[in-house]
Amino acid sequence: GSLLSAHDLRKTYGSTPALDGASFSVHPGEVVAVMGPSGSGKSTLLHCLAGIVNPDSGTITYAGRELSAMSDAERSALRRSDFGFVFQFGQLVPELTCVENVALPLRLNGVKRKAAERTALEWMERLEVDGLGGKRPGEVSGGQGQRVAVARALAGSPKVIFADEPTGALDSLNGERVMELLTEAARSSHVAVVLVTHEARVAAFSDRDVTVRDGRAHNLEYSA
């Protein structure tokens, strides 16, 4: 069955409808690309699925539990334990070194510093940025920073990674390498990925594409 699903989501900001009956589902280990024009509701859908934004109506079910039935504290605990996030930019804590950034989700889940940084370095090795551990985010390139961000998203052993335009600030070569590393790592660890992008060459790394138009999600073909 599906790990995370949404049914008939509606969300309005003032008089602007952002979601107008959107439905969605993703299976464990599946990479789904959410595509569509700017302003169509992709980010709002992602934020609802991740429990960051509450829809006005509709249901979201994660691992058999309805998100709306949880308290805010339960939803943030779920985000910490089960979800990882990669955004376009500005997500790394500038005061921390890269390895401290990657270790952060483990530290927040109660893992001791040494063990957390050991695991963090393993993920950094996998993302080919293990040489950058002692540097701060401001001292690495955009592509390196995104690999560090992907390592951080994976380090907490999430069940789902939410990625909103994760390569939007990168050139195509770096963007494709980041997508390759992200999807390889996610598939081999059986992590589901909800990937928001407007770029076809980024969506090419998905198992399945969903298009959002005017706040409604439409399934496209299985590309597998």
Q: Which residues bind ligand ADP (CB under 6 A)?
A: 13, 16, 18, 36, 38-44, 164-165
Q: Is the dihedral of CA 144, 146, 152, 153 positive or negative?
A: negative
Rounded Cα–Cα distance for residues 163 and 146 (Å):
11
CB of 36 to ligand ADP, least distance (A): 6
Question: Taking Cα atoms as reference points, which of 216, 190, 203 lies closest to residue 3?
Answer: 190
State the residue for tokens 């393993």. 122
Instruction: Name the residue nearer to ligand ADP (CB basis): 165 or 207.
Output: 165
CB of 44 to ligand ADP, least distance (A): 3
Phi-psi group of 78: left, alpha or beta (phi > 0 → left; psi -120 to 50 → alpha; rest → beta)? alpha
Q: Note the maximum CA span of the chain.
A: 50
Question: Two tokens at 44?
Answer: 């709002």
Question: Two tokens at 103?
Answer: 């270790």
CB of 50 to ligand ADP, least distance (A): 11
Instruction: Name the residue nearer to ligand ADP (CB basis): 38 or 71.
Output: 38
CB of 49 to ligand ADP, least distance (A): 12
Instruction: Name the residue nearer to ligand ADP (CB basis): 39 or 94.
Output: 39
Rounded Cα–Cα distance for residues 65 and 46 (Å):
18
Instruction: Name the residue nearer to ligand ADP (CB basis): 53 or 96.
Output: 53
Give alpha helix (H) positions in 127-192.
Answer: 142-155, 172-188
Instruction: Name the residue nearer to ligand ADP (CB basis): 25 or 44.
Output: 44
